[in-house]
Amino acid sequence: MEDQIQVTEESPLDANQFVEEKATLSEEDRLKPVIAAILYVTPEPMSPIDIARGLGRDPELIERLINELAAFYEEPAFGFQIHSKAGGFYFGTKPEFDEQLRQFFESQKPALKLSSAALETLCIIAYKQPVTAPEIAQIRGTQGVGSLKPLLDRRLITTAGRKDVVGKPVLYKTTPEFLVQFGLKDLKELPTLKEFEELRRLAIEDDLVPPAEPISPKPETEPVEAPPAAAAPASETESA
In one letter, which amino acid is 23? A
CATH match for 116-189 among 3.60.140.10, 3.30.870.10, 3.40.50.720, 1.10.10.10: 1.10.10.10
The pLDDT tens digits for 142-198 are 877 788 988 998 889 999 999 988 888 999 999 998 888 887 888 888 877 676 666
More confident residue, 21 or 73: 73
Greatest mean pLDDT among 66-80, 106-120, 200-214: 66-80
Fill in the DSSP letter of residue 145.
-
**Which segment of 15-24, 53-62, 81-90 scores lowest on mean pLDDT?**
15-24
Please compute the mean of the pLDDT values over residues 114-118 and round it to a whole number.
83
What CATH number does the domain located at 23-96 have? 1.10.10.10
Every domain of the chain and the residues it spans: 23-96, 116-189
Element spanning 202, H or E: helix 193-208
Q: What pLDDT is recorded for position 21? A: 55
23-96 and 116-189 share one fold: yes
Q: What is the DSSP string of 29-98?
A: HHHHHHHHHHHHH-SS-B-HHHHHHHHT--HHHHHHHHHHHHHHTTSTT-SEEEEEETTEEEEEE-GGGH
pTM value is 0.43
On whether the CB atoms of residues 22 and 52 are closer than 8 A, the answer is no
Q: What pLDDT is recorded for position 75? A: 93
